[in-house]
Structure 1
Amino acid sequence: MTSDRAMAIVWMPFAEVRVPSIQLGVLAGLVREAGWDAETFHFNLDLAARIPRIYDEFSHYNEGLLGEWLFAETAFGPAPPGQSDLYLDNVARDPVTRQKDSAIREYLLYLQQVTIPEFIEGCLESVEWERFDVVGFSSVYQQNVAALALARRLKARCPNLIVVFGGANVQGEMGAAYLEAFPFIDHICTGEAELCVKPLLHCIAAGKDPLNVPGIATRTETGAILESAPLTIRSLTGEPLPEYDEYFARHRALKISTGIELPIETSRGCWWGEKSHCTFCGLNGNDMQFRTKPVEIVIKELKHLSQRHGVYAFKATDNIMPRQHVDALFPHLRDAPYRFFFEVKSNLNLAQLGVLRDGGVRWIQPGIESLSTEILRLIGKGSSKLHNVRLLKWARWLGIKVSWNLLHGVPGETAAMYEDQTELLRFLGHLEPPEGYARIRMDRFSPLFQSRDGPSVEWWRPWEAYSAIYPPALDLERAAYFFDYEAPETLPDSHHVQMFERVSSWQASWANEPPVLELSRRGRQTVVVDSRFGSSERELPLDADSIRLLEACEDIQTLESVRDVADPGRIAALLEAGLLVQDRALLLSLVLPDTATARFTKDTLFT
């Protein structure tokens, strides 16, 4: 250490193993700019090394907040009699049959009562915590209880160690609720940490209370909780380059076998959310303002990080890709070795997707959510049924992986909106299936949550799992992020059985070789090759006018614009065969162009 002040920054389970924490990487640089020494600790890797076969499943499994429950006894002590039994009755089930599974139950109890306490003890004993003045925990998703468990033990061992929490789990009023409930926490950053870390450390070094530091909730000597409103970062140009050396050293030392993807931030906020906040979206907290990082800085970071670590797969943390990247960033990366994941808006066309593919994008999350234009309007997506189908179509042709979901439970929905989707799903087997079909959640900060006391919501309460995890001292209405609710203008779950079945069949059809639907040139004849409805391919010979119509509708077209290509009867025949899809006066061909004409070859995304 080179300074007389030092801060430890900790990343706990169940954070993803493959990706180092960009929060820790940036914060370490900010702490050093404040004149302090900084060390990061990716303890999530330590637990992954203990339970390598299942850690990844826990990091992606949100049902019942299982990752949080596993740490609950270590953090808060034994649960009241019978509480764990009730909790496990709900979560210890076979993932396929949903029947209670005693083996899963016993394994979860072993993890909670043996593996997790040993892990926390290992975190305590592996570091000389007395060297540090401050320990900071960055907490997102299912990291909260693990962080609380270690923080409590650290405070008991080192009473003078100042404990600070930050991250999405303690944004806004959630932060003050946690501070009130857990006296071993000294300060909580309730907004964007870049603006408060250095002022907070300056106050600590000077022995002053950080009462006026923006975005800090703090406990005074009298025990009162005081908080200052957070500020918003206006520019993303001043951040230090993220530091990941400790992650890579720990990854090697523990012999973690997963591949690695480097996080990179090119923007913050949501440009679409500034116009229309999607009904269910709780991301960005209370600040939707969209800010972009200059292209030259992005390119500099990509070069620095890839050369330093020998990794060329990047996972963008952006909530939505900046529109200008299509013209301003990716053309500069055409010959670069990078591969990217980005969240995007679903109205990208073939030319735009082609630029992304040329620039290294191999995986996107487009926020499709529905294949009904009416439902998309109800939830404020700013897209349509044909926009979403078009994106799936061209992503399949270009070899871009698509992660997406279908949602139901939208206030104002009707049965007809799902009947149309159920019928459409019959014809989309050649396109990448959704990862699931689920009811819309009520998340804190979402418009649905903000209107929870209005007529569109009958009742609401924090997820039941919270009360099985946290002690009564925590005010769950202020601390919870996920909520159960009932909306009167929605269809019962029983209405969605057929959609569930269609989605499951679609997913199963992609377990091996995905189905195809494409034009194929056979000498002078063009046929449609179709394997959507069985294991064997069918060749559908079409006349020249039908081929011309399909080619004319490769992108979305109006009925009027194709009147000179095909008569209404021909259009109706192709709609019935599932080769065209219609949305009001618009048409789109579902048939992919001949794969021999594709400009791109499929390659592996991220290992």
Structure 2
Amino acid sequence: MKSISLVSAPWPLYNRPSIQLGALKAYLDKNLPEIKTHAHYLYLTFAARLGYALYETISTGMWRAEVPFAALLFPEKKDEAARFLATRLKGTPFYRSLDPASLSGRLTEISRCLLDEIKWDDYLMVGISACLGQLTSSIYFAYEIRKRAPDSIIVLGGSACAGKMGLSIVKTFPVIDCVVNGEGERPLLALIQQATEGRKPASTPLKGVVTRQTKPEEIDAAQISDLDTLPLPDFSEYFRDLASLEAKKHFIPRLPIEASRGCWWKGASRSSLPAKTQRGCAFCNLNLQWSGYRAKSTGKIRQEIYALALRHRTLSMSFMDNSIPYTKDVRLFEEISSIGVDLRLFCEIRAGVSLGVLKSMARAGVHEVQAGIEALSTSLLKKLNKGTTALDNIELMRNCESLETMSLNGNLIMEFPLSDQKDVDETLRTMDFSFPFLPPKGISFWLGFGSPAWSNPMAFNITRTGNHPFYRHLFPKKVLAGLVLMIQGYRADKSLQKKLWAPVRKKLAQWAESYDSLHTGRLHEPILSHQDGGGFLIIRQRRPGNAHMIHRLEGASRRIYLFCESQRSLSEILGFSDGIAHDKVLAFLRMMEDKRLMFSEGDRYLALSLKAGGCRGLK
């Protein structure tokens, strides 16, 4: 009986196996043990042969990643694609040294060698995973595999072909027999069972499968209701391929971990967005492939982490979730801590995670978090429907800064079409208080297909949408006309937004420079820290150029300040300071704010300094 092939083409991160291939292979092996499933991590071999540094440079830029194989797919676009690639390489080590023609030659040669090593006509079906930055490479390999296996069924799936995007792809590229919409386990299983009976994908409609005959309103998905029933992902072929490389190319990979699917905030949020606009963050299109939200149990997550660590002898892992579940309490992280090994974990979180939970995460081995900061203006956060406030974000930044073993990455979205002067003024004010903490990365707003802003553009001051103009450098005009793609262009008052946000960009650069200058040398203290003397508190405020300031708080002032290490309402503070005149408490709070030692929003206050030396221990 013929086998099944699962393929991941360039350009995923080379140092971790594909969660899509690992999960699908394990599921198919469990449910179709009589049919062999092989996973082909083509991107790993490409990375090794191109060189890891060059591969990483290309793979970490979405537009850079789509260019090289577009030039191979459409030779008539190679010169234009080469010029475009040069613009996207600015600021990288390969800006002047990389010759696009030479790169195309190397990719062609590596592709030919890889493809010729595999007997493609042994496969009944080839499933190709296409996520961000993988569309052109996936289509290219589909055509090359078709040349070698004209009778194999070629299926595309992944976030790059969710919904109407997938329908446009299957209609535009005849080499693709069908597209899986949403998660792939159940649809792919049904497709294989259908194929073993000699039936083609379009012969009988299948839930979650999109063919050229599918109407837009007929696009649906077939999901696993209970994620605890899924088998442990199988990454064995990634590690086999890694072991086959020459010794100097070996490395210890990071493993992907999946704790949930979908976005709990999208389902739980009380939308602050305009009427007739879908829920979730206004800019986000990360969950198009899922309907609703599901999470594995804490015990299941613990079991998978432990089993994968033992099987693959590695301790570095990344949660692939858009926002890791169970951040309202410590259950998950206590489970992980109980494994008793020194893990190094990455995960994505939302603001609102308490310091207690962050400490539990750190004890479990979380060394890096990506937080959905997005804005330092509460009015803008409301327009983005984040469900958080500037104060929430400042508190998260402060708490992560206090944990010496955990680094925080976050983005600051600028030039959102609904932004106004109030949003910018609030952002600039908040930044005045944020200088002691690691600055977020400033990014310009981009419009994602399927996001609330795309779905209801007029509500966001967007007058027209369509595929991003950059795609013109990659696809011929006739091909592009039939495609619906992930990054969308739009018309709005972009010049006004750039002008509005110019002061924020300037101040963000100053913030980064200030933070870096105060964190030079082998040892450094927090920029804003305190030492507790029992009856008094010493606060040290470090500034660039050695213009440091020292503050001392005595008695009640010390107690109130420490009480506000987590955000407190004015009524809570007044209740805590019972016996002290309210006007004196208010005067103290104003003084702390004037000195940038506390931040307030509405009637809520937060002390900003960290315990000197960080959170010594994580108890």
Q: State the TM-score, normalized to the length of structure 2.
A: 0.88
Please name the residue that 1:305 is paired with.
Answer: 308
* 1:93-492 equivalence runs, <5 A: 93-94=90-91, 104=95, 107-210=98-201, 211-219=204-212, 229-254=220-245, 255-276=248-269, 277-285=280-288, 287-323=290-326, 326-335=329-338, 336-337=340-341, 338-399=343-404, 400-434=406-440, 436-452=441-457, 456-475=461-480, 478-488=483-493, 491-492=496-497
Alignment partners' CA distance in 2, 1:408 and 1:299: 38
Deviation at 1:169, TM superposition (A): 0.7
Is residue 378–residue 410 contact of structure 1 (8 Å, CA) maintained in 2?
Answer: no
Deviation at 1:40, TM superposition (A): 1.0
Please name the residue that 2:3 is paired with.
Answer: 6
**Where is the helix percentage greater, Structure 1 or Structure 2?**
2
1:572 to 550, 570, 590: 590
Is residue 344–residue 365 contact of structure 1 (8 Å, CA) maintained in 2?
Answer: yes
Deviation at 1:133, TM superposition (A): 2.2
Deviations 1:519-552 (A, max 9, x none): 0247976321222444575433444444333212
- SS of residue in 2 equivalent to 1:329: helix
Deviations 1:261-292 (A, max 9, x none): 11111111111111331100101116441111
Stretches of structure 1 lacking an aligned partner (at least 5 in a row) = 97-102, 602-607
Instruction: Write the letter of the residue equivalent to 1:78.
Output: E
* 1:498-537 equivalence runs, <5 A: 498-511=503-516, 512-513=519-520, 515-521=526-532, 526-534=537-545
Deviation at 1:152, TM superposition (A): 0.8
Please name the residue that 1:581 is paired with.
Answer: 599
Percent sequence identity is 24
Instruction: Write the letter of the residue equivalent to 2:47.
Output: A
Please name the residue that 1:73 is paired with.
Answer: 71
- SS of residue in 2 equivalent to 1:133: strand
Deviates more, 1:248-257 or 1:66-75: 248-257
Alignment partners' CA distance in 2, 1:185 and 1:581: 55
Instruction: Write the letter of the residue equivalent to 2:257.
Output: I
Please name the residue that 2:274 is paired with.
Answer: none
Please name the residue that 1:99 is paired with.
Answer: none
Deviation at 1:503, TM superposition (A): 1.8
- SS of residue in 1 equivalent to 2:433: coil
Deviates more, 1:345-354 or 1:500-509: 500-509
User: Residues 225 and 556 of structure 1: is their aligned pair in 2 closer, same or farther, counting only changes over 3 Å?
Assistant: closer
User: Residues 187 and 477 of structure 1: is their aligned pair in 2 closer, same or farther, counting only changes over 3 Å?
Assistant: closer
Alignment partners' CA distance in 2, 1:425 and 1:7: 54
User: Residues 535 and 486 of structure 1: is their aligned pair in 2 closer, same or farther, counting only changes over 3 Å?
Assistant: farther
User: Residues 500 and 256 of structure 1: is their aligned pair in 2 closer, same or farther, counting only changes over 3 Å?
Assistant: farther
Deviation at 1:327, TM superposition (A): 4.0
- SS of residue in 2 equivalent to 1:285: coil
Is residue 219–residue 226 contact of structure 1 (8 Å, CA) maintained in 2?
Answer: no
Stretches of structure 2 lacking an aligned partner (at least 5 in a row) = 270-279
Deviation at 1:54, TM superposition (A): 2.4
Deviations 1:579-603 (A, max 9, x none): 11110111111111233763239xx
Instruction: Write the letter of the residue equivalent to 2:21.
Output: L
Deviation at 1:493, TM superposition (A): 0.4
Alignment partners' CA distance in 2, 1:324 and 1:579: 28
Alignment partners' CA distance in 1, 2:459 and 2:335: 49
- SS of residue in 1 equivalent to 2:155: strand
Please name the residue that 1:43 is paired with.
Answer: 42
Alignment partners' CA distance in 2, 1:448 and 1:14: 28
Is residue 196–residue 216 contact of structure 1 (8 Å, CA) maintained in 2?
Answer: yes
